[in-house]
Structure 1
């Protein structure tokens, strides 16, 4: 599998981490000063997940994906290989399958985010785009929000 991942041990209970993971994505999803606007989040396998990433200079990056799973209290998985529009499911140019999960660890919570790619080239491209820095910043933002 062509996988990149980031993980953090968060000094907060699983319940609080889940609430933030699932319900407060606009507060941690993008590395600041970028932010997201959540457009749709149909929390079920096959449901639509759509957002727009907005940059500090007016940049906009729409992101449309489909949930592969929604495991209440534990995590969720999406892919951009499929979109869901008014005419139903449609194939899209795939980039990755993303998984965000939490699990209890000691007195805290283990946060892990995975990006799985179809090819080694796509994985390398994602890494070179700044995966470690970007997804690391997001993990830090998530942890700080949970620990506050």
Structure 2
């Protein structure tokens, strides 16, 4: 197993009491509802769910803050995982990179294990992401994804 610090990776995992098919559907069809921690909102600019497809959105804060992101999907494996990066815009145009994101789901009993990870080019970027609130933010996002998925599957609680 690769040491996560060797690849400058931050990870959040969560059990979701809903089957992977439902979690996947929520992940990909209702992204704006779970992508960033509330009270922030996400505006989807474009989500082309295929390898090489554009992944662009704007996260908006309650005080008028804006955090745009424009990148591409590197991999999309339905009901399993998607991988995205900000290292390129659509058409493989390079830009200053911050991370590679990997959102994975695997069956876990009657539910799903969700794993969200961010891989960084160097330790400085990893530390920057930690300082930005990775742990709290990505855990909040995982909770929002779980709440939505569980409500869709009728197993919320």
TM-score, scaled relative to structure 1: 0.95
* Per-residue deviation, 1:89: 2.8
Segments of structure 2 that go 5 or more residues without pairing to the other structure are 1-6, 152-157
Alignment match, 2:31: 25
Task: Name the structure where strand makes up a greater proportion of residues.
Answer: 1
Segments of structure 1 that go 5 or more residues without pairing to the other structure are none
* Per-residue deviation, 1:114: 0.6
* Per-residue deviation, 1:133: 0.4
Alignment match, 1:131: 134
Specify the SS of the correspondent of 1:15. helix
Alignment match, 2:122: 119
1:95 matches 2:98:
yes
Q: Deviations over 1:15-64 (max 9, x none)?
A: 11111011100110010000101111111111110001011111111100
2:79 to 73, 80, 83: 73
Q: What count of residue pairs does the alignment treat as equivalent?
A: 145
Alignment match, 2:149: 146
Q: Which runs of 4+ in 1 moved over 2 A?
A: none
1:6 matches 2:19:
no
In 2: Cα distance, 1:89 partner to 1:75 partner: 21
In 1: Cα distance, 2:94 partner to 2:111 partner: 39
